[in-house]
């Protein structure tokens, strides 16, 4: 058994998404003590933002062949999709930055979509595989909040992982992670603590759930 874990937070050990991801990974490892885990940390080792353009343009390389940058981007895209194909389960820890997915996460998705096995997102490269999306945000975007609906990351990541890529997706969400860090949110201390507690429980459940799930057999 093999788990692919994707991290994107710039917050190092203070990261809320990593904290929840650690719980999911721990629960998964308990059920699969001999299993292997690949961690791709998109903050520590970012996908170069220019890689997508280089990989796309490589398809139109003339007789002189691809440039060094085009060849490197194509190889990296291959590696990313190899990692997905090799995984029995996937964990994606996704922070909300500036109301959307982090640029690190977007660069990962963009480059994957250049590989022919993904074909721009039209191939379900995670079909039937159990996956957990951890989605964390500093504020609150629920019904009745001033910025209701402004979390443009969680829906996007669901669409990519489940709708396009076909994962059997469990979502763990935590809001108000900036309570205790940003004094303007002090009045939400109780709600923030409740969010933390609920998300922690949800991460334990999600880890157990994907650990118990087997990858769907390949048809034929």
Interacting residue ranges for ligand FMN, rule: CB under 6 A: 9-11, 15-18, 95-99, 136-139, 177-178
- Residues 19-22: contacts with CB within 8 Å, 24+ apart? 20/93, 20/134, 20/136, 20/172, 20/174, 20/199, 20/200, 20/203, 21/91, 21/93, 21/134, 21/203
Place of tokens 């990692």: 83
Structure tokens at 198: 């609920």
Least spacing, CB of residue 149 vs ligand FMN, in Å? 12
Least spacing, CB of residue 20 vs ligand FMN, in Å? 8
Helix extents (H) in the chain: 16-31, 51-58, 68-86, 103-112, 154-158, 189-212
Our CB check for ligand FMN shows the closer of 66 and 138 to be: 138
Our CB check for ligand FMN shows the closer of 97 and 156 to be: 97
- Rounded CA separation 204/211 (Å): 11
Our CB check for ligand FMN shows the closer of 16 and 52 to be: 16
Least spacing, CB of residue 188 vs ligand FMN, in Å? 12
Our CB check for ligand FMN shows the closer of 62 and 144 to be: 144
Least spacing, CB of residue 13 vs ligand FMN, in Å? 10
Backbone angles phi, psi at 166, to 5 degrees: 85, 15
Our CB check for ligand FMN shows the closer of 17 and 114 to be: 17
Least spacing, CB of residue 43 vs ligand FMN, in Å? 9
């Amino acid at each position: 058994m093999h788990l692919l874990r994707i991290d994107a937070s710039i917050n190092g050990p203070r990261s809320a998404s990593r904290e929840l991801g650690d719980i999911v990974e721990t629960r998964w490892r308990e059920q699969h003590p001999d299993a292997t885990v690949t961690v791709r940390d998109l903050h520590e080792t970012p996908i170069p933002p220019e890689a997508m353009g280089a990989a796309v343009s490589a398809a139109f390389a003339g007789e002189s062949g691809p440039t060094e940058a085009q060849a490197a981007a194509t190889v990296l895209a291959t590696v990313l999709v190899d990692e997905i194909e090799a995984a029995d389960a996937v964990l994606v820890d996704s922070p909300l930055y500036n109301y959307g997915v982090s640029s690190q996460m977007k660069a990962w998705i963009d480059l994957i979509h250049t590989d022919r096995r993904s074909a721009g997102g039209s191939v379900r490269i995670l079909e039937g595989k159990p996956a957990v999306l951890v989605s964390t945000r500093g504020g609150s975007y629920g019904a009745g909040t001033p910025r209701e609906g402004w979390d443009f990351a969680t829906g996007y990541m669901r669409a990519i992982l489940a709708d396009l890529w076909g994962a059997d997706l469990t979502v763990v969400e935590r809001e108000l992670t900036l309570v205790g860090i940003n004094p303007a949110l002090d009045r939400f201390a109780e709600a923030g603590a409740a969010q933390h507690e609920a998300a922690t429980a949800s991460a334990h459940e999600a880890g157990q759930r994907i650990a118990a799930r087997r990858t769907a057999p390949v048809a034929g």
